[in-house]
Structure 1
Amino acid sequence: MESWLQPLELEGNLVKLVPLQKTHKVDLVFAASDGNLWELWYTSVPNPKTMDSYLDTALAEQNLGKSLPFTIIDKRTNTVVGTSRFLNVDAKNKRLEIGATWYAKKVQRTGINTECKYLLLKYAFEHLNCIAVEFRTHFHNHRSRNAILRLGAKQDGILRNHRLDEAGNLRDTVVFSILDSEWKTVKASLEFKMKRGANY
């Protein structure tokens, strides 16, 4: 499993995705503090007190071959603006999920998310030869759901009472995916949107 997914850097015009490291903690706390992202009850963005455990979990899952976390750097300012990762990795069936994604408020709807997803999808389909890439989000996170649809993913369904959050609230999870047979068209659409400067 480890041989299928190894730490790497991905770079576009706006962003660079580098392997997540514990040394990124301070910069990630600063990014998450832009908008106090952890206050959105339907997201799981770490706050300053939970950032250490957040990083420990991400890196432990990476060591087990279950995920590959990235720190997102805005090339225009050379600053850390968020994180994303490949997770729920199923090497045998060549499937994975792109998730645990969040951005500082100042770079939301600036085109950074579109380019990050493009870079991750391109690597997943063209280098890892994935047969499907999933996206999952909270039923109540309508902004995220709409952003996933705009990427070109299709909704597979809703996992009712999928899990409990830290407050004990039941979460319904909406599952989306892009198939390998759809990637060529999705790629063309994303490249067109990036060329036009689509801001999401």
Structure 2
Amino acid sequence: MNQFNQFGQPVGEELLDWQPRQHPERVELKGHYCSLTPLRPEHAAALFAAYQLAEDTRSWTWLLREPDANAEAFTAWVESVCELADPMHFTVIDNRTNAPVGTLALMRIDPKNGVIEVGHVHFSPLLSRTPMSTEAQYLLMRYVFDALGYRRFEWKCNSLNEPSRRAALRLGFQYEGRFRQALVVKGHNRDTDWFSIIDTEWKALDRAFQNWLAADNFSADGKQLRSLENWRKEFS
């Protein structure tokens, strides 16, 4: 609810107890299907091999980087980013095989205002379109909202990246708008679409994720019985 100052001007809701939040740490985040662990050079060979399972390089189209020519080049990239505080990269580990199957990161970290973004999402064929891929995103959200107490979790993507736009909406992010000519990426214009989840939405989303990820929401052959969107409607 908006509040007003002595001039009768609306100044927004007062946050009496607000304090800057803690910067994320390189923590282990454990789930049922997968776990997140800080990206390390020893993950590089397995990650590169997992990405090589794709039929082509289309998963690189929307990334800021071009595909690496070989495992050595990919390892060099991992070594150059794995100790950064922002973006802070995590490796997704398949709990069944203990193998690295993809990466994602927390970025544009703003503890003062309690705002943080998920980005640099690169899932291999071993991870894409599996319960693990949803759980990986959920584990980061839960860390951001429950452990760190942030107010806002952002998702941004190229406006032409329809799979990313669909993924954001499926996960419960709200579309906020388009920043035109926001970037030049690989010699092409990029309009950027913005999505977010805020803390007041998290409780219902958390319940939907927990119910969707539960073992009894999947058939014996691994098919979902109720969609994440369906569960979300129940708790909205």
> Structure 1 counterpart of 2:170, which letter?
R
> Structure 2 counterpart of 1:95, which letter?
V
Aligned ranges 1:122-141 → 2 under 5 Å: 122-141=142-161
Matching of residue 31 in structure 1 with residue 54 in structure 2: no
Deviation of the 1:80 alpha carbon: 0.8
Q: Corresponding residue for 1:59? A: 82
Aligned pair in 2 of structure 1 residues 77, 60: CA closer, same or farther (>3 Å)? closer
Aligned pair in 2 of structure 1 residues 177, 54: CA closer, same or farther (>3 Å)? farther
> Structure 2 counterpart of 1:26, which letter?
A
- Which consecutive residues of structure 2, in runs of 5 or more, have no partner in the other structure? 1-19, 219-223, 229-236
Aligned pair in 2 of structure 1 residues 2, 122: CA closer, same or farther (>3 Å)? closer
Deviation of the 1:154 alpha carbon: 0.2
Match of 2:113 among 48, 72, 93: 93
Q: SS in structure 2 opposite 1:162? A: strand
Aligned pair in 2 of structure 1 residues 179, 5: CA closer, same or farther (>3 Å)? same
Identity across matched positions, percent: 29
Larger RCO (alpha carbons 8 Å, 6+ apart): 1
For 1:127 and 1:38, locate their aligned partners in 2 and report how far apart those are by CA, in whole Å: 36
Q: Corresponding residue for 2:14? A: none
Matching of residue 16 in structure 1 with residue 39 in structure 2: no
Q: SS in structure 2 opposite 1:7? A: coil
For 1:135 and 1:165, locate their aligned partners in 2 and report how far apart those are by CA, in whole Å: 18
Match of 2:179 among 142, 149, 159: 159
Matching of residue 71 in structure 1 with residue 95 in structure 2: no
Residues 45, 75 of structure 2: 8 Å contact kept: no
> Structure 2 counterpart of 1:83, which letter?
T
TM-score (norm 2): 0.75
For 2:76 and 2:155, locate their aligned partners in 1 and report how far apart those are by CA, in whole Å: 23
Residues 176, 194 of structure 2: 8 Å contact kept: yes
Match of 1:113 among 133, 147, 151: 133
Residues 114, 149 of structure 2: 8 Å contact kept: yes
Match of 1:103 among 103, 112, 123: 123
Question: What RMSD in Å do the two structures reach over aligned CA positions?
Answer: 2.3
Q: SS in structure 2 opposite 1:80? A: strand
Q: SS in structure 2 opposite 1:35? A: coil
Matching of residue 193 in structure 1 with residue 216 in structure 2: no
Residues 21, 148 of structure 2: 8 Å contact kept: no
Deviation of the 1:102 alpha carbon: 1.5
Which deviates further from its counterpart, 91-100 or 105-114? 105-114
Q: How many residues are aligned here? A: 196
TM-score (norm 1): 0.88
Q: Please tell me whether Structure 1 or Structure 2 has the larger radius of gyration of its CA atoms.
A: 2
